[in-house]
């Protein structure tokens, strides 16, 4: 879909009073901007973050901008399944309802390292941790009418390939390939989840979004020249290929809150190559719609995480 039509902005997010929202990686960047908007519309927001110091500072920002109490902060390290289970238990215990889960946190092109569970860090953080968290809080989502699950992918998914014979890159680490695989996995997961929810007759819907190219801390492992090009000082020259974190958060917000959004849809900026622009419904790669790959990834994810979605039957 092109970027034509009425411009959808944060002002279009409807009233969120009475809704409970969990945003992962909300201590900075896209997650923080999305949390600010949702809290400002009245949602009870839970910031699920690895760095508790940054999370508390983000919570203070949100309190100041929203002019109301909250949000709650929960420790979540997606690269540790023990942490994911602990965070999910805390969310389930403290939230009587769960209307929205935004799987936003991520890492991009870090040096090769393993997670606490021995998985390649990018795949562990960007996919496996969110797969496990979603499964562990799914019953709370299913019990809440109108609930949604939004997972943040990337334009990098277009080059992504699932290395099912070497998901952890044990035969040689390539940072770009690892990131592309993890972002493709986000979409395969979303589409398989949407299919399973639909087949089971549940009202909870699953959607995906991507931010285009936004100025955030995600680029912290990139070369200094890349970071310089992305800096605010270069905005007069790069405005058509790079936009702010506030703008980058809009596709996820639209997937999360637009009343017209439907399960299995994917939102991103409507500008050139999807890098910048107002959020519109977009198409993802052919590989992301490979149903057999989606089921294979699901089975592998259940085996690796030990989290089984028992209330959802396989799709297809």
Is the pLDDT at 67 greater than 90, yes or no? Answer: no
Q: With cut-offs at 50, 70 and 90, classify the pLDDT of residue 233.
A: very low
Of the listed ranges 60-74, 115-129, 166-180, 258-272, the least confidently predicted one is 60-74
Calpha distance 181→208 (Å, rounded) = 16
Q: Give me the mean pLDDT over the 175-199 stretch.
A: 97
End-to-end CA distance of the chain: 27
pLDDT at 178: 97
Per-residue pLDDT of 81-109, as tens digits, reads 999 999 999 999 999 999 999 999 999 98
Residue 221: pLDDT band with limits 50, 70, 90: very low
pLDDT in tens, 34-48: 999 999 999 999 999
Across the range 204-219, mean pLDDT stands at 85
pLDDT of residue 232: 56
pLDDT at 54 over 60: yes
Give dist(CA 179, CA 21) in Å, integer. 26
Residue 274 CA from chain centroid, whole number = 17
Residue 254 pLDDT: 98
Per residue in 115-166, pLDDT (tens digit) is 999 999 999 999 999 999 999 999 999 999 999 999 999 999 999 999 999 9
Least confident of 84-88, 147-151, 188-192, 309-313: 309-313
Strands 100-103 and 266-269: what pairing?
unpaired
Give the mean pLDDT of 251-278.
96
When computed from its CA atoms, the radius of gyration of the chain, rounded to whole angstroms, is 18
Q: Phi and psi of 207, rounded to 5°?
A: -135, 170
* Residue range 210-222: mean pLDDT, rounded: 70
Spatial separation of the C-alpha atoms in residues 26 and 34, rounded to whole Å: 8
| Residue 215: predicted pLDDT | 73
What is the structure's pLDDT at 222?
45
Is residue 4 pLDDT above 90, yes or no? no
Average model confidence (pLDDT) across the chain? 91
pLDDT confidence tier of residue 236, bands split at 50, 70 and 90: very low
Residue 227 has pLDDT above 80, yes or no: no
Catalytic residue positions, numbered: 179
Q: Does domain 15-302 have CATH number 3.40.50.720?
A: yes
pLDDT of residue 216: 65
**Confidence bin at 167 (pLDDT 50/70/90):** very high
């Amino acid at each position: 879909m092109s970027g034509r039509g009425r411009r959808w902005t944060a002002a279009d997010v409807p009233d969120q009073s009475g809704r409970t929202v969990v945003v992962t990686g909300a201590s900075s960047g896209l997650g923080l901007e999305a949390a600010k908007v949702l809290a400002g519309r009245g949602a009870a927001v839970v910031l699920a973050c690895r760095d508790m110091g940054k999370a508390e500072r983000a919570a203070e920002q949100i309190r100041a901008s929203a002019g109301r109490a909250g949000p709650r902060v929960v420790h979540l390290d997606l690269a540790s399944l023990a942490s994911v289970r602990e965070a999910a238990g805390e969310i389930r215990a403290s939230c009587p309802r769960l209307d929205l889960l935004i799987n936003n946190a991520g890492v991009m092109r870090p040096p090769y390292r393993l997670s606490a569970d021995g998985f390649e860090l990018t795949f562990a953080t960007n996919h496996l941790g969110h797969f496990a968290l979603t499964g562990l809080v799914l019953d709370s989502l299913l019990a809440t009418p109108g609930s949604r699950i939004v997972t943040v992918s990337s334009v990098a998914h277009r080059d992504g390939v699932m290395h099912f014979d070497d998901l952890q890159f044990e035969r040689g680490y390539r940072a770009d390939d690892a990131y592309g695989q993890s972002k493709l996995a986000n979409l395969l997961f979303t589409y398989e989840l949407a299919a399973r929810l639909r087949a089971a007759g549940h009202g909870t819907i699953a959607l995906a979004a991507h931010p285009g190219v936004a100025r955030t801390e995600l680029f912290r492992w990139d070369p200094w020249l890349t970071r310089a090009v992305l800096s605010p000082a270069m905005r007069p020259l790069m405005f058509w290929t790079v936009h702010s974190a506030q703008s980058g958060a809009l596709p996820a917000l639209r997937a999360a809150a637009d009343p017209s959004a439907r399960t299995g849809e994917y939102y991103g900026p409507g500008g050139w190559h999807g890098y910048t622009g107002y959020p519109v419904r977009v198409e993802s790669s052919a590989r992301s719609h490979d149903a057999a790959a989606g089921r294979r990834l699901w089975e592998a994810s259940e085996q690796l995480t030990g989290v089984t979605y028992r209330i959802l039957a396989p799709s297809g």
